[in-house]
């Protein structure tokens, strides 16, 4: 491996979490420098456009790309930099719909889950990155994490489109994915975290993935 991967920060927010989310985000961006920030809603909770717009502006003020999970129309309305498409049964359909809405200059990446066919399809369609995640309903996390590393290794050996590892729960898994060849590794924070906890988590992940550069 020639270089360490970069962090991809994800921030989970609720409809009324604007101030807390901004504090957690600011602390995280002070602790480390991710490549981009993905804003995602809490499960079962729709986005609040005003809150998302404020967080997008805060992200872009730091010179980073701000992405919205799953809502291309909202991304266009508030001038986000693109969208991340969560895993679905029809990832190519979701990708094409988002591209039609946002145009060629937006950043659009999609989660292929554990499907190599879906990953290759997204890459061939023009996705800016292909992600491999672990859905929350998966109970055998150890097996899923091993498969995720295998997918990152396979992808990095063959394809030029960047690979993003999503749903990374621990610094140990972040380090394993870095060694496997993932280009970007997600570190997740939420608006429920204190600023100190958000900063500490991001700093820990940054240290874990940069430490592999010296031993690669």
Rounded Cα distance between 100 and 203, Å, is 37
What is the distance, to the nearest Å, from the Cα of residue 56 to the centroid of all Cα atoms in its chain? 15
The domains of the chain, with CATH numbers, are: 6-195 (3.20.20.70)
Kindly report, residue by residue over 146-189, the tens digit of the pLDDT. 999 999 999 999 999 999 999 999 999 999 999 999 999 999 99
Write down the residue that tokens 């995640």 correspond to.
Answer: 133
Kindly report, residue by residue over 18-56, the tens digit of the pLDDT. 999 999 999 999 999 999 999 999 998 999 999 999 999
Compute the mean pLDDT over every residue in the chain, rounded to the nearest whole number: 94
- Predicted model pTM: 0.94
Q: Burial of 21 by CB count in 10 Å (0-12 exposed, 13-18 middle, 19+ buried)?
A: buried
Q: Burial of 104 by CB count in 10 Å (0-12 exposed, 13-18 middle, 19+ buried)?
A: exposed
Rounded Cα distance between 52 and 80, Å, is 9
Write down the residue that tokens 């991710």 correspond to.
Answer: 34
What is the pLDDT, as a whole number, of residue 2? Answer: 52
Rounded Cα distance between 56 and 38, Å, is 9
The DSSP letter of residue 99 is H
Helices (H), 32-169: 49-61, 72-77, 91-102, 116-125, 141-158
Three-state secondary structure along 137-150? Answer: CCCCHHHHHHHHHH
Q: Which helix (H) or strand (E) holds 206?
A: helix 195-215
């Amino acid at each position: 491996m020639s270089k360490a991967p970069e962090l991809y920060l994800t921030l989970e927010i609720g409809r009324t979490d604007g101030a807390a989310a901004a504090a957690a985000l600011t602390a995280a961006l002070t602790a480390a420098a991710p490549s981009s920030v993905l804003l995602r809603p809490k499960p079962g909770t729709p986005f609040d456009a005003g809150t998302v717009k404020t967080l997008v502006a805060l992200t872009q003020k730091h010179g980073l790309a701000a992405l919205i999970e799953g809502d291309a129309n909202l991304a266009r309305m508030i001038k986000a930099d693109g969208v991340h498409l969560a895993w679905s049964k029809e990832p190519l359909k979701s990708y094409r719909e988002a591209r039609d809405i946002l145009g060629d200059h937006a950043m659009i990446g999609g989660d292929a889950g554990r499907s190599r066919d879906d990953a290759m399809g997204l890459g061939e369609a023009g996705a800016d990155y292909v992600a491999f995640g672990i859905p929350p309903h998966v109970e055998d996390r150890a097996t899923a994490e091993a498969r995720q590393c295998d997918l990152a290794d396979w992808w990095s050996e063959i394809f030029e489109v960047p690979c993003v590892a999503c749903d990374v729960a621990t610094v140990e898994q972040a380090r394993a994915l870095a060694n496997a060849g993932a280009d970007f590794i997600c570190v997740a924070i939420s608006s429920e975290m204190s600023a100190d906890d958000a900063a500490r988590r991001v700093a820990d992940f940054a240290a874990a993935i940069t430490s592999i550069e010296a031993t690669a």
